[in-house]
Amino acid sequence: MSDANKAPIGIFDSGIGGLTVVKAVMEQLPNENIIYYGDTARVPYGIKSIETVREYALQITEFLLSQQVKCILIACNTVSAAANEEVRAFCGNVPVLDVVAAGAEAALSVEAKNESIGVIGTLATVNSQTYETAIHATAPGKRIFSKACPMLVPLAEEGWTDNEISRLVIEEYLGDFREKNLDALILGCTHYPLFTPLIERYLKKSGTKVIDSALSIAARTRAMLAEHNMINESGEKGEFTCFVSDKPQRFQNLAERFLGKKLHRIEISPLV
Amino acid sequence: MSDANKAPIGIFDSGIGGLTVVKAVMEQLPNENIIYYGDTARVPYGIKSIETVREYALQITEFLLSQQVKCILIACNTVSAAANEEVRAFCGNVPVLDVVAAGAEAALSVEAKNESIGVIGTLATVNSQTYETAIHATAPGKRIFSKACPMLVPLAEEGWTDNEISRLVIEEYLGDFREKNLDALILGCTHYPLFTPLIERYLKKSGTKVIDSALSIAARTRAMLAEHNMINESGEKGEFTCFVSDKPQRFQNLAERFLGKKLHRIEISPLV
């Protein structure tokens, strides 16, 4: 194994949501070192112009490359939609994976009984039609049903992921989808994996496979590293470094809920 | 009546929430011309540093003064907490009113049975303790109970202001308050007046008076204009001009829900 294999995986998001991707990568690739960047000072990206999102994404990419990462995971649906090509071009030979491509690929790998896929996400992601574009590039015949679920991000941040309120919100948003017997439902927002158990329970009888794009991109990363012979096989537990551009009140608790474990150190590193 | 009385009232907020203040002013002062500025490109302010909020607030103030307003209403709790003094200093002789002072004053005017007042707001407003400071400046003996209610803004924007979900959310947040028999509860966020009927129903038996700070600042404005002999008595219906720094998807519907009426024209005017 070359020393390059010990280089960290870089993961970024506009805020803390991408920590669900970190969690999935830690589980599937426990020896990898990980560097995360959350742009907490400038979140949310979904309400900003495409030009601004591109500029921010390239600033973060530059920061991660300066940390000698061996690949970059775009753990942000807004950036995946707005700046995917720009980030790839900027990275040159460093491989780039993104949640949209990974989620779309995972949804297409589900047995197609009804040739239909559901997508839920923020208003920005749904309006961008980024999942439609990604899916139709491979499978133009798929019917896609998408729905913006703006309450799910604040619900996740409040920690109400499996109570009576979240159950009613899921019913309200996914009521139509339950009747459609979709082959798959893509959770197209990095906050949404916190609702996976609730959504799986709600859609159980409709036979819909729930696609957690955090798990999908982690699996895709594992495959890509194996293909390039870049897996860290040191046998040591990987190190995790968490950078943010601002550390708001209650950040630590919130971050730990998304990561599913204690977070010992958070570095504050503004980009501008 | 001098021509100066026909000058518009300037009202601003970080986003659309301040339109609840516009609505209240329209109802209480129907002949006044109103200019609103919502900084929709840079919302939310609550997660930004105090210095940044001050800078933004002064940019908007400068814009409103350039429109020859006769007074300015700060319809934003975050700005009231962070930049009240700066805005006043910048305005010179032009009177400035703010939602925090108006809400605190209204709460203090309620008959004091238990010498206790509740405050709900965003996390930023609650952490700033701005209502505590304003109330204790006049009435140091009051007990104040405050609670951040982060779900109420997204609920209001989703339009779920009086359904089963919002009822459960109010129960979750205000359950403790119902037992305390507070004299008054200040709705310390410009989005919250949309929940006034629901909250009043929920607190009915505890004898708590709900203070809608949009109504409070409108009443305070009316009194101030009368004191200065500045009321527009033209008898003509006032004109309303709505400026925003960005016009996101669905803005029109959302704005009309907050304003409680049709909005015929929205001007986009970035500040930088």
- Enumerate the domain spans of chain A: 3-98+215-268, 101-213
- Look at residue B195 in the predicted model and tell me its pLDDT: 97
Asked if residue B1 has pLDDT above 70, the reply is no
- Contact assignment for B158 to A168 by CB distance below 8 Å: no
Question: Would you call A158 an interface residue with chain B, using a CB distance cutoff of 8 Å?
Answer: yes
> Is B71 marked active-site?
no
- Look at residue A46 in the predicted model and tell me its pLDDT: 82
Which CATH number applies to A101-213? 3.40.50.1860
Asked if residue B232 has pLDDT above 90, the reply is yes
Could you tell me the maximum CA-CA distance found in chain B, to the nearest angstrom?
Answer: 52
Going by pLDDT thresholds of 50, 70 and 90, the confidence category of residue A270 is confident
Tokens of B76: 């934003």
Question: Would you call A93 an interface residue with chain B, using a CB distance cutoff of 8 Å?
Answer: no
Q: In this complex, which of B40, B49, B150 lies closest to A154 when CB atoms are compared?
A: B150
Tokens of B112: 């004091």
Tokens of A256: 């730990």
- Look at residue A1 in the predicted model and tell me its pLDDT: 64
Distance CA B147, CA B127 (A): 9
Chain B residues touching residue A40 (CB < 8 angstroms): 47
> Is B76 marked active-site?
yes
Q: Which of A195, A212, A122 is nearest to A158 (CA)?
A: A195
Query: A73 and A49 in contact (C-beta within 8 Å)?
Result: no
Q: In this complex, which of B123, B127, B154 lies closest to A151 when CB atoms are compared?
A: B154
CATH pick for A3-98+215-268 out of 1.10.10.410, 3.10.450.230, 3.40.50.1860, 3.40.50.300: 3.40.50.1860
* Distance from the Cα of residue B125 to its chain's centroid: 12
- Contact assignment for A153 to B155 by CB distance below 8 Å: no
Going by pLDDT thresholds of 50, 70 and 90, the confidence category of residue B249 is low
- Contact assignment for B154 to A157 by CB distance below 8 Å: no
3-state secondary structure of B10: strand
On average, the pLDDT of chain A sits at 94
Instruction: Please tell me if the domain spanning A3-98+215-268 has the same topology as the one spanning A101-213.
Output: yes
- Contact assignment for B164 to A168 by CB distance below 8 Å: yes
Chain B residues touching residue A160 (CB < 8 angstroms): 151
CATH pick for B101-214 out of 3.30.70.240, 3.40.50.12780, 3.40.50.2300, 3.40.50.1860: 3.40.50.1860
Burial class (CB in 10 A: 0-12, 13-18, 19+), B216: buried
Residues 6+ apart with CB under 8 A from A109: none
ipTM: 0.85
Query: B231 and B29 in contact (C-beta within 8 Å)?
Result: yes
Asked if residue A214 has pLDDT above 90, the reply is yes
Chain B residues touching residue A248 (CB < 8 angstroms): 47
What confidence tens digit (pLDDT) does each residue in A18-73 have? 999 999 999 999 999 999 999 998 888 887 888 889 999 999 999 999 999 999 99
Share of chain B above pLDDT 90, in %: 86
Question: Would you call A150 an interface residue with chain B, using a CB distance cutoff of 8 Å?
Answer: yes
Tokens of B34: 């109103």
Of B270 and A71, the structure prediction assigns the larger pLDDT to A71
- Look at residue B120 in the predicted model and tell me its pLDDT: 98
3-state secondary structure of B47: coil
Question: Would you call A51 an interface residue with chain B, using a CB distance cutoff of 8 Å?
Answer: no
Amino acid in position B129: Q
C-alpha angle A94-A96-A99 in degrees, rounded to nearest 5? 165
Query: A209 and A110 in contact (C-beta within 8 Å)?
Result: yes
Share of chain B above pLDDT 70, in %: 99
HEC letters along chain A? CCHHHHCCEEEEECCCCCHHHHHHHHHHCCCCCEEEEECCCCCCCCCCCHHHHHHHHHHHHHHHHHCCCCEEEECCHHHHHHHHHHHHHHHCCCCEEEHHHHHHHHHHCCCCCCCEEEEEECHHHHHHCHHHHHHHHHCCCCEEEEEECCCHHHHHHHCCCCCHHHHHHHHHHHHHHHHHCCCEEEECCCCHHHHHHHHHHHCHHHCCEEEEHHHHHHHHHHHHHHHCCCCCCCCCCCCEEEEECCCCCCHHHHHHHHHCCCCCCEEECCCC
Backbone φ and ψ for B247, nearest 5 degrees, come out as: -120, 90
Chain B residues touching residue A169 (CB < 8 angstroms): 165
Going by pLDDT thresholds of 50, 70 and 90, the confidence category of residue B226 is very high
CA of B88 vs chain A CAs: smallest distance (Å): 27
